[in-house]
């Protein structure tokens, strides 16, 4: 166990000013980020007698090997820098809320010429107006279906929209009056945008004035004996009121506020947020977290505010934020309030509700948080029990010294020997960790050594190569050689198929940095032997290897003539099957993508200096590659932007490339030419 006194700053070295600090471990990874209005007393508190520290703090300081800090001018700057660093370095000892689901939003794409109303999940995009989040996507669709009667905004995809433009016929919604059909010119872009903005105004809570305007129009139509128009307006008002009834009024005076409640125990905490707009609950979301650092309700509230509003600006930050506890003393609360106000662009009130409707609603949010924590603990207990049993069964069956907390599985994929690729998937504590997945292009070499020619169906040699490349990267990372070069790292590729240059240690997670306790290969005895041989050649003897053969689901171990047969009902076998199937899925997805890219290649791709724009110009001018191949150099020079030198290069490239095999229409037996037509003998 490292001694914190070995890296304790010298007396007088720590400044007495606001700042943000980072603790790093022996591998230079950032493991904790914190802020303080005065760095000196805060950092000094970590280096007192270990017996006096909270158990979680004690674990952190004994894991760390160094501490560093950055001085800032104000507490607001410290808050902003702390949030940025936590997001960048993902420290293991910081509280990090994780969404218990990906919440859907109602989105209006105001960044498009013809704005579209749709359901969206994930990261927010610039120029898109969001409403929600909602508990279920069907709740959004019900609301939109009611409102399209009054605000017939486009809801179709780009493909459907372009097809309607091309054919001059709108989709079904255009025929039944639930779309204004801008695709066929029934409304101008300006008129359609006005409809979209009215839709947004209504969703933002400005409902009363719009309904009163419709009521006045209905009365005027009735007086003028335009009863059909009056009836249509009456139905529109009814549809809007039904949409409003889906969100009951909970706060008077059309209040805009977010209410945040926290439920916690010694180990975990749950946060629930109600988004109130125009006095109505417009959305609800929840988070859970492990309490990996010593933190109370005030700290949990501060972390929740950072995560909730760290990426938000403008109206996404409400005028009022109601919390169960203020984030620290008066100075800390003032700093957070100033930070929220800067993100909104106007004053934000951060306070604890004391009485009335807001306090009653806060009690409802707190009950939701308590229920979410109970439900999460129930699910997790069940999951943890099952996963623990599976890992223990694997450890017993393979005679491991300890349970394999990190499992890596490798699979080879190809199509009749072409486009040979490999995948590596990672499971930690029995759960997939997709950020650690890696993909490899099989090249027939390890480092600078050519091992074999990479074509052909040789899964065994491919497996040997990919295991060697993966663990060679691990050894290089372990040695900390500093700047990585392509010569050093010729081997495993990242998701893009290239070899990235890694900078010197900066605390960010590294690729291939952590060794597994168990390597699983998709295959039987030959693949297992190849993987074991690769590890032996690198001198790695503390990683177990096994293979899972698909035919009988047998588990093979190195140097064993007979497989290990786990019961069909075994949780351990089920976990190994999930790991193997995930590796197979990841590998075949990559292989299909590579094959599709290869099929889309053209002889023009190899012409130097010929970019995508001029390639498209050539095809557009001649109509097909076949006709371009038949053209003379003088005819190619007629294409705007092409000089004679480029035209000669195009002619040479097409002459050297063998014509593609003709396609056959399977229905008629006719041979299809490059233009898509048929030829007859």
Q: Which residues lie across from 291 on neighbouring strands? A: none
Distance CA 194, CA 20 (A): 47
Q: How confident is the model at residue 385 (pLDDT cuts 50, 70, 90)?
A: confident
| Extended strands (E) in 550-612 | 554-556
Distance CA 588, CA 592 (A): 6
Of the candidates 26, 24, 361, 25, which has an alpha carbon nearest to the alpha carbon of residue 34? 24
444: left (phi over 0), alpha (psi -120 to 50) or beta: left
Q: What is the mean pLDDT of residues 650-654?
A: 80
Tell me what pLDDT residue 306 has. Answer: 86
Q: For residue 200, what are the contacts with CB-CB under 8 A and spacing of at least 6? A: 108, 110, 129, 131
What is the secondary structure of 141-167 as a DSSP string?
Answer: HHHHHHHTTTS--B-S-HHHHHHHHHH
Q: Is the pLDDT of residue 669 over 50?
A: no
Tell me what pLDDT residue 250 has. Answer: 59
Residues 39-97: tens digit of each pLDDT: 988 898 898 888 888 877 888 888 888 999 988 888 888 888 888 888 888 888 887 76
Q: For residue 619, what are the contacts with CB-CB under 8 A and spacing of at least 6? A: 625, 628
Q: Identify whether the C-beta of residue 358 lies closer than 8 Å to the C-beta of residue 250.
A: no
% of the chain exceeding 70 in pLDDT: 81
Q: Is the pLDDT of residue 15 over 70?
A: yes
Q: Is the pLDDT of residue 661 over 50?
A: no
Burial of 370 by CB count in 10 Å (0-12 exposed, 13-18 middle, 19+ buried)? middle
Of the candidates 257, 282, 270, 273, which has an alpha carbon nearest to the alpha carbon of residue 357? 257
Angle of CA points 210, 216, 217, to nearest 5°: 90
Q: Is the pLDDT of residue 204 over 80?
A: no
Distance CA 432, CA 34 (A): 29
**Three-state helix/strand/coil letters over 456-490:** CCCHHHHHHHHHHHHHHHHHHHHHCCCCCCCCCCC
Reduced to 3 states, what is the DSSP secondary structure of residue 654?
A: helix
Burial of 224 by CB count in 10 Å (0-12 exposed, 13-18 middle, 19+ buried)? exposed
Q: Which of 9-18, 24-33, 61-70, 495-504 has the lowest mean pLDDT?
A: 495-504
Reduced to 3 states, what is the DSSP secondary structure of residue 600?
A: coil
Give the CB-side neighbour count of residue 289, counting CA atoms within 13 A.
28
User: How far does Cα 569 stand from its chain's mean position?
Assistant: 34
Tell me what pLDDT residue 109 has. Answer: 92
Q: Identify whether the C-beta of residue 318 lies closer than 8 Å to the C-beta of residue 305.
A: no
Tell me what pLDDT residue 394 has. Answer: 92
Q: Where are the alpha helices (DSSP H) in 246-296?
A: none
Q: Is the pLDDT of residue 246 over 70?
A: no
Reduced to 3 states, what is the DSSP secondary structure of residue 594?
A: helix
Q: Which residues lie across from 446 on neighbouring strands? A: 449
Q: Is the pLDDT of residue 222 over 90?
A: no
User: How far does Cα 294 stand from its chain's mean position?
Assistant: 29
Q: What is the mean pLDDT of residues 541-554?
A: 84
Tell me what pLDDT residue 410 has. Answer: 94
Q: How confident is the model at residue 1 (pLDDT cuts 50, 70, 90)?
A: low
What is the secondary structure of 163-231 as a DSSP string?
Answer: HHHHHT---HHHHTTSS--GGGTSS-HHHHHHHHHHHHHHHTT--HHHHHHHHHHHHHHHHTT-HHHHH
Residues 268-277: tens digit of each pLDDT: 888 898 888 7
Pairing, β 268-277 against β 64-71: unpaired
Tell me what pLDDT residue 115 has. Answer: 92
Distance CA 679, CA 681 (A): 7
């Amino acid at each position: 166990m490292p001694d914190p006194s070995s890296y304790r700053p010298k007396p007088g070295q720590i400044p007495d000013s606001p700042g943000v600090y980072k603790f790093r471990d022996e591998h230079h990874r950032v493991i904790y980020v914190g802020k303080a209005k005065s760095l000196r007393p805060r950092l000094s508190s970590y280096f007192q007698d270990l017996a006096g520290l909270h158990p979680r703090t004690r674990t952190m300081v004994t894991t760390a090997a160094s501490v560093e800090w950055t001085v800032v001018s104000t507490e607001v700057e410290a808050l902003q820098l702390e949030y940025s660093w936590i997001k960048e370095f993902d420290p293991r000892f910081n509280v990090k809320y994780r969404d218990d689901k990906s919440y859907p939003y109602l989105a209006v794409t105001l960044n498009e010429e013809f704005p579209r109303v749709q359901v969206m999940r994930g990261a927010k995009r610039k120029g898109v107006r969001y409403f929600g989040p909602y508990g279920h996507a069907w709740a959004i669709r019900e609301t939109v279906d009611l409102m399209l009667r009054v605000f017939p905004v486009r809801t179709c995809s780009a493909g459907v929209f372009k097809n309607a433009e091309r054919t001059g016929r709108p989709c079904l919604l255009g025929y039944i009056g639930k779309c204004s059909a801008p695709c066929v010119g029934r409304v101008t872009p300006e008129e359609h945008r006005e409809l979209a903005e009215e839709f947004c105004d209504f969703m933002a809570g400005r409902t009363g004035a719009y309904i009163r305007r419709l009521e006045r129009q209905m009365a005027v139509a009735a007086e003028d004996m335009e009863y059909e128009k009056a009836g249509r307006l009456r139905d529109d008002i009814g549809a809007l009121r039904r949409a409003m009834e889906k969100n009951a009024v909970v706060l008077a005076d059309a209040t805009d506020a977010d209410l945040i409640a926290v439920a916690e125990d010694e180990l975990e905490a749950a946060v629930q947020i109600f988004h109130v707009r125009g006095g109505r609950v417009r959305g609800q979301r929840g988070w859970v977290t492990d309490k990996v650092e010593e933190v109370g309700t005030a700290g949990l509230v501060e972390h929740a505010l950072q995560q909730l509003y760290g990426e938000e600006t403008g109206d996404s930050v409400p005028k009022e934020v109601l919390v169960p506890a203020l984030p620290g003393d008066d100075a800390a609360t003032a700093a957070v309030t100033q930070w929220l106000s800067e993100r909104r662009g106007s004053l934000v009130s951060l306070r604890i509700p004391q009485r009335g409707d807001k306090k009653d609603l806060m009690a409802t949010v707190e009950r939701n948080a308590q229920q979410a924590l109970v439900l999460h603990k129930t699910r997790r207990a069940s999951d943890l029990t099952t996963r623990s049993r599976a890992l223990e069964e694997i450890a017993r069956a393979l005679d491991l010294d300890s349970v394999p907390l990190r499992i890596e599985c490798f699979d080879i994929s190809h199509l009749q020997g072409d486009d040979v690729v490999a995948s590596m998937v990672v499971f930690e504590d029995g759960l997939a960790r997709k950020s650690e997945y890696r993909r490899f292009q099989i090249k027939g070499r390890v480092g600078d050594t050519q091992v074999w020619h990479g074509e052909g169906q040789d899964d065994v040699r491919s497996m040997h190569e990919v295991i060697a490349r993966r663990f060679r990267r691990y050894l290089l990372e372990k040695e900390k050689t500093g700047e990585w070069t392509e010569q050093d790292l010729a081997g495993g590729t990242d998701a893009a198929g290239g070899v990235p240059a890694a900078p010197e240690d900066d605390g960010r997670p590294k690729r291939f940095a952590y060794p597994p306790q168990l390597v699983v290969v998709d295959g039987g005895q030959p693949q297992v032997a190849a993987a074991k041989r690769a590890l032996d050649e690198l001198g790695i003897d503390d990683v177990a290897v096994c293979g899972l053969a698909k035919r009988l689901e047998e588990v093979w171990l190195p140097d064993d003539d007979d497989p290990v047969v786990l019961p069909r009902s075994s949780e351990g076998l089920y976990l190994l099957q999930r790991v193997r199937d995930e590796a197979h899925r990841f590998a075949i997805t990559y292989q299909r993508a590579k094959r599709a890219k290869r099929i889309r290649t053209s002889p023009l791709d190899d012409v130097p200096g010929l970019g995508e724009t001029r390639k498209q110009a050539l095809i557009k001018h001649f109509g097909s590659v076949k006709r371009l191949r038949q053209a003379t150099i003088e005819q190619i020079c007629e294409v705007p932007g092409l000089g004679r030198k480029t035209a000669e290069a195009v002619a040479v490239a097409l002459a050297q490339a063998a014509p593609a095999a003709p396609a056959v229409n399977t229905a008629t037996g006719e041979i299809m030419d490059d233009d898509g037509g048929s030829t007859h003998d």
